[in-house]
Amino acid sequence: MTARPIAVVGASAAGLAAAEALRRGGWRGPLTLIGDEPHLPYDRPPLSKQLLHGAWEPDRLLLRTEEQLAPLGLDLRLGTRATGLDVATRTLTLDDGERLGCAGVIIATGVTARTLPGADRIAGVHTLRTLDEALALRARLGTPGRRLVIVGNGVLGCEAAAVARELGHEVTLVGIEETPMAAAVGTEVGELLAEEHRARGVRLLTGAVDGFETAPADPDGSAPQVTAVRLANGGPPASEGVAAGGGGGSRLPADLVLLAIGSRPAVEWLADPALDTTDGLRCDAYCAAAPGIYAAGDVARWDHPVHGRPLRFEHRMNATEQGMAAARNLLAELATTAAATGAAEDTPAPERRPFAPEPYFWSDQYDLKLQAYGLTAGADRVEATVLDRAARRVLALYGRDGHAVGVLAAGLPPRQIRALRAVIATPLPWEEARERIGAATAAG
């Protein structure tokens, strides 16, 4: 009888890391890697930066070439979508109707971009999550002088705004929050970013989008072209000409629109009631969602053993680290089960280990590089120190329930950045963390 495979669903950073870790960990059986895109696994952070700018071509984003993947002996299913999972039997259903019984499953399907009603039927309205989407937007930005409206002033919207301005386009950045990236980095750091974007010529507006205006569709049946973005009445407070409540909405002329309004975990295909898919796939501290079913990357919401609550990170480093952790713990579970049933050699099975990373993310905008360790979103206390406003040098500490849980810096030397990471490796009482942060940045 042919051995049942381990299947990894999601062929991006987390899925590839899991597949490689399974082989390193000793899995010699069939290994299936399933990806809904037709491309080999590639890196996503450069999509909104180097690739969109034109500095990199798609082949530079590849995480592995075909030759580098060959030693893994993968059953590689690109352009294939998983449509269902029976948890009790560990059976995947694929979009071609195949049912694949598995020894174990690692789910690394990531997230999908949010959009607005009707946007997919309008030419010139884009999202930016996949390689094909990034290339489509890059092609439209190939001629300078376009009027680009970016809806959403979070990390993606700010990064894309920086690239578009460097390419010579007229950029308007619209968000429902008054301060760019405030949810991720806090108001004070966000205001510093806002100053930099304004200095570079980006128009920052506060408002909620109500819809789009388009040119009449061509008789050939092609999609109508966007000509403007409408902002809703009664939205957030007025900012730089955006209408507030009762004043009649604003109209923003646009040749192109980028929707950067967030994402949602790609869990819609997981309908088995044994799984909790509230804000991602719910897992325990070992990244297990059910016996033999693990998750990794943007899609996973797991019990972080240090912070004591379920967390979900959409950060690049976490994808790789969690992919490896999920693979290691799945192999340990399978070995333990085999030993208990007498199906394995009489050797001690490896133990599963909780996944307890130090979260890290970065964002490149113009000449700025923001780097953050720990938890910056959801803080109930933020203390930001602007070290040099002209140079956009800033240091911020983030707290929750009386403890420091995150730190962010821009413009600091690498040695100090590394020292900051050590301070928040575990949550410290706020005042103790402040003293250690001061000591870490005192020299240089």
pLDDT digits (tens, 9 = 90+) for 36-93: 999 999 999 999 999 999 999 999 999 999 999 999 999 999 999 999 999 999 999 9
**Side-chain-side CA neighbours of residue 323 (13 Å):** 30
Per the domain annotation, does 346 fall within a domain?
A: no
User: Is pLDDT above 70 for 344?
Assistant: no
pLDDT at 171: 98
Same domain, 274 and 189: no
pLDDT at 360: 92
> In this structure, how many other beta carbons lie within 10 angstroms of the beta carbon of residue 410?
27
Helices (H), 250-388: 316-340
Is the pTM above the cut of 0.75?
Answer: yes
Per the domain annotation, does 407 fall within a domain?
A: yes
pLDDT at 247: 36
Q: Count the domains in the chain.
A: 3
Same domain, 189 and 221: yes
Same domain, 143 and 132: yes
Same domain, 411 and 294: no
Per the domain annotation, does 1 fall within a domain?
A: no
pLDDT at 216: 84
Residues written for the chain: 444
pLDDT at 164: 98
Cα gap 293→290, rounded to integer Å: 5
| End-to-end Cα spacing for the chain | 65
Task: Look at 287 and 424; give whichever has higher pLDDT.
Answer: 287
Same domain, 77 and 12: yes
Cα gap 65→331, rounded to integer Å: 26
Kindly state the DSSP code that residue 238 receives in the 8-state scheme: P
Per the domain annotation, does 419 fall within a domain?
A: yes
Per the domain annotation, does 323 fall within a domain?
A: yes
Same domain, 126 and 255: yes
Same domain, 210 and 221: yes
High-pLDDT (> 90) share of the chain, %: 81
CATH number, domain at 142?
Answer: 3.50.50.60
Task: Look at 64 and 234; give whichever has higher pLDDT.
Answer: 64
- Where does a domain end: 224, 240, 259? 259
Per the domain annotation, does 200 fall within a domain?
A: yes
Note down the domain range covering 394: 367-440
Let me know: does 272 contact 281? Beta carbons within 8 Å.
Answer: no
- Where does a domain end: 299, 323, 340? 340
User: Is pLDDT above 80 for 153?
Assistant: yes
> In this structure, how many other beta carbons lie within 10 angstroms of the beta carbon of residue 213?
15
Let me know: does 252 contact 149? Beta carbons within 8 Å.
Answer: yes
Per the domain annotation, does 331 fall within a domain?
A: yes
DSSP bridge pairs for 54: none
User: Is pLDDT above 70 for 281?
Assistant: yes
Q: Which residue has the tokens 């700018």?
A: 53
Per the domain annotation, does 357 fall within a domain?
A: no
Residue type, 298: D
CATH number, domain at 375?
Answer: 3.30.390.30
User: Is pLDDT above 60 for 444?
Assistant: no
Average pLDDT for 305-334: 96
Phi, psi at residue 32, to the nearest 5°?
-110, 125
Q: What is the pLDDT of residues 414-443, one digit of tens each?
A: 888 888 888 888 889 999 999 988 888 775
Same domain, 253 and 119: yes
Let me know: does 239 contact 274? Beta carbons within 8 Å.
Answer: no
Q: Which helix (H) or strand (E) holds 361?
A: strand 360-365
Average pLDDT for 386-405: 93
pLDDT at 241: 34
Tokens of 410: 């821009």
Task: Look at 212 and 441; give whichever has higher pLDDT.
Answer: 212
User: Is pLDDT above 80 for 239?
Assistant: no
DSSP bridge pairs for 204: 173
Beta strands 263-265; 256-259: pairing state: unpaired
Cα gap 273→87, rounded to integer Å: 9
Same domain, 215 and 332: no
- Where does a domain end: 201, 235, 259? 259
Same domain, 62 and 98: yes
Same domain, 230 and 328: no
Tokens of 194: 């806002």
Cα gap 347→395, rounded to integer Å: 51
Averaged confidence pLDDT in the chain: 92
Task: Look at 268 and 387; give whichever has higher pLDDT.
Answer: 268
pLDDT confidence of 139, banded at 50, 70, 90? very high
Same domain, 85 and 175: no
Average pLDDT for 309-328: 96
pLDDT at 443: 57
